Each structure stands twice: as structure tokens, then as C-alpha cells.
Amino acid sequence: MIWGSGTTNGRGPRHTYAALSDARLENVLRTTRASVRSGDLKSAYGQFTLDGVRRSFFTKWFAAVDDRGPGADRALILDARVFRSLNALGWTSREAAGVSHWPTRYAVYVSAMHGWARELGVTAEWLEWLLFDVNGRVHGDTP
């Protein structure tokens, strides 16, 4: 939670307290870790329900616990900045997945990122960082 709160997010302590106080914490972390490590990102996404923790933070958990080796489409972080960049480039997870189901959309996002990274000769993690850093400013509209 601290990793994703940055320097200006005053909600971090409140959300961290809510997550640590949630009776589901141990079970959610255990089951989602197992799903991620087995490559079932769709199930991991669907299983992650903790007070105070949303997609931007629980996908950081997925990326941290995904210890599958080279060649695996490892979990990636998906937050609003990455989404802004993807959407500015004309890609939407809903269209790519063909459904509005978020667990499916997350799995499609991870698969697409790894595919693009292979085509570009970079890692998916680097591509994710680039999209995060660009934060939707993809058409030369940077300050």
C-alpha cells in the first residue's frame, strides 16, 4: 500500500488500516497468490476483495508475488495512469476482451502487453512503466 501511495495520496493510511482490519485479509492474500503463481490471473482478480484495496493496489500485489519464470506472461500493474495511456492510444480493455467482466479484461490486458512487448523487443514491465510515465500524453501534448 505504501509503494502505491506516492507522496501526495493522503488516503493511504486510511485504506491501509481498512485492509489490515479486514477479516478476509489472510485468505485473500493466500488464495490470490496461489492463483497468480498458477497463471490464473482472471481468478486472482475475481478473488481479490478487501476493504480499502482497489485494482491499482491489488494488481501491484499480483506483480509482486508472480514468481513464474521467463516465458510466462507475468502479472502486471494496472492503474489509472496506464489506462489513460492505453485509451489515448485507442485501446480499451472492454473492446479487446469483448466483455465488461473486469477479471477477463485484466487477463486480456496482461496478455496484450506481453504480446506487444515481444513485438517491440522490450519487457512487458518496461512497457507498463512507460505507459504509467506517459500518463495519457501520447500525442505530443506533454508540457
> Cα dihedral angle (104, 108, 109, 115), rounded to 10 degrees?
170
Domain map (residue ranges) of the chain: 8-134
pTM score of the predicted model: 0.85
Position 11 pLDDT exceeds 90? no
Position 2 pLDDT exceeds 70? no
Q: For residues 87 and 22, what is the distance between their CA atoms, to the nearest angstrom? A: 33
Q: For residues 115 and 134, what is the distance between their CA atoms, to the nearest angstrom? A: 20
Q: Assign 129 a pLDDT band (cuts: 50, 70, 90).
A: very high
Position 54 pLDDT exceeds 80? no
Q: What percent of the chain has pLDDT over 70?
A: 86
What pLDDT, in 10s, does the model give residues 60-104?
A: 999 999 999 888 999 999 999 999 999 999 999 999 999 999 999
